[in-house]
A and B are shown apart, each in its own frame.
Chain A
Amino acid sequence: MGFASAQDAALGEAVFAKCKACHAVGPDATNKVGPHLNGVVGRPAGSAEGYKYSTAMATKGAEGLVWDEATLAPYLANPKGIVKGTKMAFAGLKKPDEVSNLIAYLATFAQDGGKTSADAGAAAPAEQKAEAPPQAPADGQTPIQPAPAAARGDGLKLGLGRLATEDEISAWDIDVRPDGKGLPVGRGTVATGMGIYDENCASCHGDFGEAVDRWPVLAGGQGTLQADRPQKTIGSFWPYLSTVYDYVRRAMPFGNARSLSNDDIYALTAYILYLNDVVDDEEFELSNENLATIRLPNEANFIEDDRASEPHNKPGVEPCMKDCRPGKAEITMHAAVLDVTPENSENDDAPAAGIE
């Protein structure tokens, strides 16, 4: 393969976006969901300090596996195939160029997160790509009707764009509604879901949906909605099960979206119901036939926007200008006391509800 060029490393940086949810590199890198990857090229497997590896990865390290171009390439293409039982929930990179560019990029980071000599010349300007030719109507995109001569919008069709094909619509239109519209044909049980969940989801959401660190909690919290610190989960708060199916299918696992099959998503959704005590049978099977019939406990507690009925939202009330409140203003609470403002804080604890 020879020496990777700075250009490869630059392209590899873009590929690294796929890893960033779980791994960090650079001077400030710490262990996240996965170990930090400074100096990983040349590092024994399972050796990042302070990181708790799976037994599988730790064993590989003990057996003498060292990460280099030759060992990383197959691992990144198929993590679970190469290290059976690894907890890296990542499907693998499909394109060989991506793998080699990514390795070239990782090779630019030394153990301490500084730049290695492999990065020499990285500052050289990347070769300029030729300017794209002016956009001409591409093949198959001929207007479906000729543009009217002096069209000015507003109801007048211009005949721009082309008809969407059925396979295009089905590739993108994956939304699912509470009435079941949009559900693909498929099925999966709680028991199957547990295996898929442990492999793909538990590293962030916790073994029981209780969440690791500050990743979202998926289960529990029933009966807390009126408490001082409500815990809003699928079981305690979400109104519709279709949303779980829809969301997990479009956005999870985080950093590797759209990688699971429709059946996997049914199984995961069934398992999430189980974690939330909505079903209690491990053999329970969820499918396109029964999903819309299952109700989540909090469905009835959603109301439409009635802010306009609040007393302070009454229009046309002339506000007070003089002597509006009695006495001098007294401070009842200081933000500075909480000391949570970014620049002046070492304190990493959230004081109250964060944003969602």
Chain B
Amino acid sequence: MTNSARPGAASRRAFLKGGLAAGAALAAGSAAAGEQVITEVQDWNRYSGEGVDARPYGTPSQFEAHVMRKNVPWLTSDVVSSINFTPLHELDGIITPSGLCFERHHAGIAEIDSKDHRLMINGMVEKPLVFTMADLKRFPRENKVYFLECAANSGMEWRGAQLNGCQFTHGMLHCVMYTGVRLKTLLDEAGVKPEGKWLLAEGADASSMTRSIPLDKALDDCMVAFGMNGEALRPEQGYPLRLVVPGFEGNMWIKWLRRLEIGDQPWQQREETSKYTDLLPSGKARRFTFAMDVKSVITNPSPQAPITHGRGPLVVTGLAWSGNGTISRVDVSIDGGRNWNTARIDGPSLPKALHRFYYEFDWDGSELFLQSRAIDSDGIVQPTKDDLRAARGSNSIYHNNGIQTWHVNKHGVIENVEIS
């Protein structure tokens, strides 16, 4: 990726023979003064560094300190009930580091000692039960990688291009490996009565967050997770226990999970009536729009990660995901959707998890309109934002899975735009 690594042996030979033609990128190979980082012994090359006691829990390099979650203050009234965004443009692969997973709380981060945490199952069950965390760790476990996307991700973009960076347009998204117990295992333990049709999940935080979940989904692939990325959940992600509802909107993945109730109807909680209902131009609103649709975004280059290396080899990369299953294909366009090329998916392709794609080409330094378009295992193609607006108007807030356009100018500066 770096310039000094770029000239291969062949081009260096060409340079020595021809003596000219070499552009600025090749100057480092000349007989002129070499780079000081190479010609002079550096401090880190001379003095010993910190010992093994210095960082009992390691954190990223000090030179990566800019890689962090960010809040958009005007979006919400108060940081205690607010949101911050995953810096997607700084990440690669499909796993989001735990400390960078976006946060959305409704009453701040509850700090609960796992010894004081309980999970109750009640309602239409044979036996209402209470579990300690120690009890939960005696059930058979599973490990699964899933994406979590807030239904309001890209919600600001319904009215046209608003925020300049994929962190802000698409960063209510993360993907980690969860460790926990299949929800079905716990419900079987309590014995769901035949009348049971819905499950209410409730959090222990000061918003007592609640959502109604269809029992079919609860018995299918939901999990009660205590681990993420190999360690305990982070407090921001619901330590010590959260619900995992693969492929469904993030608000349903109740954090600080303390109670599961079985009933025969949905409860019509605030988060499934006032919020997370999608208003249409007719004045009607859709409710229980649970599944997250097929979606993708180019994370690099993007407004916060412009092209700084000039023309020549360019790596375009991004993420694709679908609440229906896996991603079967991602296409990339560099001319605003006039022509498309199929990108390369690299890394694991797991159902309801992020997929990483790459599209490499030689940039000639001309203006680009970068877009990506995902197709999922159900054969659904990611729509354009105009397709979505034609069907839903622009007051839906939630479930905006439209194709994103980044405009690249000839200097490599990038902007979030809408195009003809």
Interface residues of A (CB under 8 A from B): 14, 17, 20-21, 32, 132, 135, 137-138, 141, 144, 147, 152-158, 160-164, 168-169, 172-173, 175-179, 204, 213-216, 225-226, 230, 232, 234, 237-240, 242-243, 246-247, 250-251, 254-255, 257, 301-307, 310-317, 319-325, 327-336, 338, 340-342, 344, 348-356
Contact = CB atoms under 8 A, between A and B. Distances in A.
Contact of B261 (A173, A315, A340): A173
Contact of A325 (B72, B267, B282, B338): B338
A303 B184 CA distance: 29
Contact of B268 (A141, A239, A254, A353): A239
Nearest to B208: A250
Contacts of B267: 175-177, 246
A322 B339 contact: yes
Nearest to A309: B391
9 contacts: A141-B132, A147-B138, A178-B268, A254-B78, A304-B287, A313-B293, A321-B331, A329-B405, A333-B160
Contacts of A335: 161-164, 303, 415-417
Contacts of A257: 107, 206-208
Contacts of A225: 279, 283, 285
Nearest to B405: A329
Nearest to B120: A164
B287 A305 contact: yes
B419 A158 contact: no
A305 B290 contact: yes
Given A317-B381, A353-B156, A172 B258 contact: yes
Interface string B265-276: 101111001110
A137 to B, nearest CB: 8
Contacts of B346: none
A303 B160 contact: no
Given A334-B161, A341-B164, A175 B139 contact: no
Contacts of A348: 73-74
A22 to B, nearest CB: 9
Q: Which of A137, A305, A353 has the most CB of B within 10 A?
A: A353
Given A164-B129, A329-B336, A333-B161, A179 B331 contact: no
Given A164-B120, A239-B268, A331-B417, A323 B338 contact: yes
Interface in B114-128: 115, 120-123, 127-128
A243 B268 contact: yes
A216 B77 contact: yes
Given A237-B274, A319-B381, A307 B293 contact: yes
Contacts of A137: 134
Interface residues of B, number: 116
Interface in B288-322: 288-290, 293, 303
Contacts of B420: 327, 329-330, 332
Contact of B397 (A214, A250, A356): A356
Contacts of B395: 230, 353
A351 to B, nearest CB: 6
A203 to B, nearest CB: 12
B77 A226 contact: no
Contact of B162 (A177, A302, A338): A338
B329 to A, nearest CB: 9
Contacts of B83: 355
Contacts of A341: 163-165, 168, 303
Nearest to A234: B274
Contact of B415 (A155, A336, A352): A336
A315 B378 CA distance: 6
Interface string B92-107: 0000000000000011
Q: Which of B268, B288, B338, B388 has the most CB of A within 10 A?
A: B268
Contact of B108 (A20, A172, A175, A331): A20
Interface of B: 70-78, 80-81, 83, 106-108, 111, 115, 120-123, 127-136, 138-140, 150, 152, 155-156, 158-165, 168, 182, 184-185, 188-189, 191, 200, 202, 206-208, 210, 258-259, 261, 263, 265, 267-270, 273-275, 277, 279, 281-290, 293, 303, 331, 335-340, 369, 373, 375, 378-381, 383-384, 387-388, 391-392, 395, 397, 399, 405, 407, 415-420
B340 A319 contact: yes
Given A163-B130, A177-B268, A331-B419, A305 B383 contact: no
Contact of A319 (B135, B273, B331): B331
A310 B270 contact: no
Nearest to B398: A356
A146 B383 CA distance: 54
A299 to B, nearest CB: 10
A269 B132 CA distance: 36
Contacts of A154: 184-185, 188
Contacts of A163: 127-130
Given A21-B78, A351-B162, A162 B129 contact: yes
A321 B156 contact: no
A135 to B, nearest CB: 4
Contacts of A315: 378-380
A252 to B, nearest CB: 10
A353 B397 contact: yes
Nearest to B371: A329
Contacts of B392: 310
Contacts of B162: 335, 338, 340, 351-352
Nearest to A134: B134
Contacts of A327: 420
Contact of A246 (B122, B259, B270): B270
Contact of A213 (B77, B159, B369): B77
Q: Which of B78, B155, B384 has the most CB of A within 10 A?
A: B78
B399 to A, nearest CB: 7
Contact of B139 (A158, A215, A254): A158
